[in-house]
Amino acid sequence: MTGRFPLFSTRRQALGLALGGLGGLAMPPAFFFAKRAKAQEQKPTEKPVEGEAYEAHGLSIFGDLALPPDFKHLPYVNPDAPKGGIFIEQAGFNTFNTLNVFILKGDGAAGMGLIFDSLMTGSNDEPDALYGLVAHKVEVSADRTLYRFFLRKEARFHDGSKIKASDVVFSLNLIKTKGHPVLRQGLRDLESAEAEAEDIVRVRMRPGHSRESPLTVASQPIFSQAYYTTHNFEETTLEPPLGSAAYKVGPFEQGRYISFTRVENYWGKDLPINRGRSNFDVVRYEYFNDRKVAFEAFKAGVFTYREEYTSLIWATGYDFAALKEGKVKRETVPDAYPRGTQGWFLNTRRTKFKDARIRRALGYAFDFEWTDANIMYNLYKRTVSYFQNSPMAAEGLPSAEERALLTPFEDQLPPEVFGEAVVPPVSDGSGQDRKLLREASEQLRQAGCTRKGNTLLLPDGKPFEIEFLGFETSFQPHTAAFIKNLKLLGIDADYRVVDAAQYKRRVDEFDYDIVTERFSFGLTPGEDMRLIFGSETANLSGSRNVAGIALPSVDALIAKALVVDTRENLTTICRAIDRILRAHYFWVPMWNNPNHLLAFWDLFGRPERMPHYDVGVPSTWWFDPQKAQRIGWRKP
């Protein structure tokens, strides 16, 4: 992970930030009221009928909710989990200089999503379901353009003031007009929002909106309008903002740590959606500049939970005394959630990467088989797809349904799109596969590159130089092996490490050759594809479209995916998108681990099972003081 956009801990929270739209909503059309009685009789757990209005206790992209309106708690929690204690996790290898994570300026602090409630919130047992939080129900018009959210009268901000419909409308408009560009882009389908009453929010979506956009609206953080009459939303700040959720900002030291303290009188603590969650009195995130220093801190108990991403440490580092004595536990947990994709992404805004043959040639210089065996202890598998470990990943030849989607763009697409799905080459594991390097040289020659001594010249006669940009050193060994082969091709490549603030600025401004990026589309790809692959974000400051992808075929298929009627059809569309992207060689794919590698001090209690699509940390775990006493752990 690059860690340059540390807003929230889950995809749904991250995407559910942007909302807005000024202007009043017209009164609901007559057909909405005409069908309202029927909607109230419908069981909300039944899938809503297309073309009919309905009322429900939640929302999902395809209308299916697993939990009934009278559910008592989420099925993967311990509803009687005790409260107390502390949970300490590493925040990453960046830093922070602001508590305002909703704008482009500054490096936002980790965990700020803990302090803001939203209209609805998710279940990690379901691909895309949201259930009522500040809103206890929603009414949806027959044409799916009008959404009326009914607020709980007991909902409060931390200062005791009531959460009103006007606060929700204010928040949506604020984020849409002044929020981070990525967040504003995600809310493009919001037409308007209005406070119909103190406890009713009426949201109008534009006709033909994506199926995901109402969930994006319902997931937005709710700000206090009164608070922002005296605070400038558009500026970075280290003043803790007013929130409304289970936690508020506690003690922190800029760049070192930030903590969040549980709100004892939190208004929503007894709601079914919240029972058994938010169990720690304190959640704290520690910052480190160095991976080795961070691991030593974990061994000393400075932080108490760690998901391991470094194969060397997992294979050789867990031999310290606390683990041998049983004070620290290790677990390998299969991951049912799509692992996403990680790779070196080439900035195609730069002339040297415009030719797909050049981009393809670079991929032949990376020897994954050698890297996995010699650096990563054979713990990883090669990533091949933008939808890795997901049904959306393309395999083999395109199906008839995929071909039907692709054929209208045949004259725009490389022939590889219609053949076997493109996969990265497999090396002989030597670290310097001559066959692959010869193929790379041939691709470069066909693209117009020439060799002058030990220097490869681009078609314009300039030396081919590449800078890999990063903000920490974890990928240096892997990149060094890659660079060695690039130099054999005559390419002058190096790996540059800059501080986190400079890295963020350069990436936001697209000032790089190659960066490492990781992202996941989850089980229901949607609006996030437009943010990462869409032409509209190719030149949007702060965009996650790091490769500068701008393909009409991809834009058209994403547009179809956003309004698709079934999960089966969505899968077909995503496979077609995957084929196109892979055949354009925008990246050199890296690797993935199908498991979570967890390490933690034996301080915690856990529910009987994890949620299907998450490890449930820290939201469903709790502190066990008896375990802490037994192992002699003391709060740092």
Instruction: Tell me the per-residue pLDDT of 113-148, one tens digit each, with 9 for 90 and over.
Output: 999 999 999 999 998 999 999 999 999 999 999 999
Q: Check whether 321 has a pLDDT greater than 90.
A: yes
How far lies 205's CA from each of 64, 134, 208, in Å? 20, 20, 8
Cβ–Cβ < 8 Å for 223, 231: no
Alpha-carbon span 332 to 596, nearest angstrom: 6
**Band of pLDDT at residue 406, cut at 50, 70 and 90:** very high
Instruction: Tell me the per-residue pLDDT of 574-627, one tens digit each, with 9 for 90 and over.
Output: 999 999 999 999 999 999 988 899 999 999 999 999 999 899 999 999 999 999
Q: Which of 93-107, 159-173, 503-517 has the lowest mean pLDDT?
A: 93-107
Strands annotated E in 206-327: 247-253, 257-262, 282-287, 305-307
Average pLDDT over every residue of 403-409: 98
Instruction: Tell me the per-residue pLDDT of 341-373, one tens digit each, with 9 for 90 and over.
Output: 899 999 999 999 999 999 999 999 999 999 999
User: Residue 40: its pLDDT value, please?
Assistant: 32
**Band of pLDDT at residue 337, cut at 50, 70 and 90:** confident
Q: Kindly state the helix (H) or strand (E) to which residue 496 belongs, with its residue range.
A: strand 492-497
Average pLDDT over every residue of 437-443: 98
At 278, the amino acid letter reads S
Instruction: Tell me the per-residue pLDDT of 150-206, one tens digit each, with 9 for 90 and over.
Output: 999 999 999 999 999 999 999 999 999 999 988 888 789 999 999 999 999 999 999
User: Residue 338: its pLDDT value, please?
Assistant: 81
Average pLDDT over every residue of 473-481: 93
**Band of pLDDT at residue 48, cut at 50, 70 and 90:** confident
Q: Check whether 35 has a pLDDT greater than 90.
A: no
Q: Check whether 323 has a pLDDT greater than 90.
A: yes
Cβ–Cβ < 8 Å for 387, 578: yes
CATH number listed for the domain at residues 341-592: 3.10.105.10
78 vs 613, higher pLDDT? 78
Q: Check whether 468 has a pLDDT greater than 90.
A: yes
Q: CATH homologous superfamily for 11-82+110-229?
A: Periplasmic binding protein-like II (3.40.190.10)
What is the Cα Rg of the chain in Å? Answer: 25
User: Residue 185: its pLDDT value, please?
Assistant: 81
Topology of domain 247-334+594-631, CATH: D-Maltodextrin-Binding Protein; domain 2 (3.40.190)
- The residue written with tokens 């017209």 in the block is 26
**In the chain, % of residues over pLDDT 70:** 93
Average pLDDT over every residue of 28-51: 45
Cβ–Cβ < 8 Å for 218, 59: yes
Alpha-carbon span 12 to 520, nearest angstrom: 11
Q: Check whether 403 has a pLDDT greater than 60.
A: yes
Burial of 335 (0-12, 13-18, 19+ CB in 10 A): middle
Q: How is the chain split into domains, by residue range?
A: 11-82+110-229, 247-334+594-631, 341-592
Q: Check whether 537 has a pLDDT greater than 60.
A: yes
Q: Check whether 26 has a pLDDT greater than 70.
A: no
Strand, helix or coil for residue 449? coil
Instruction: Tell me the per-residue pLDDT of 203-226, one tens digit each, with 9 for 90 and over.
Output: 999 999 999 999 999 999 999 999
Q: Check whether 3 has a pLDDT greater than 70.
A: no
Alpha-carbon span 126 to 161, nearest angstrom: 33
Same fold yes or no, 11-82+110-229 and 247-334+594-631 = yes
Q: Check whether 335 has a pLDDT greater than 90.
A: no
Question: Average pLDDT over the chain, rounded to whole?
Answer: 91
Average pLDDT over every residue of 308-336: 93
User: Residue 50: its pLDDT value, please?
Assistant: 81
User: Residue 45: its pLDDT value, please?
Assistant: 59
Enter the tokens of residue 531.
Answer: 């943010």
**In the chain, % of residues over pLDDT 90:** 82
User: Residue 39: its pLDDT value, please?
Assistant: 33
**Band of pLDDT at residue 312, cut at 50, 70 and 90:** confident
Residue 199 makes CB contacts below 8 A (sequence gap 6+) with 150, 151, 152, 153, 164, 165
Cβ–Cβ < 8 Å for 7, 17: yes
At 240, the amino acid letter reads P
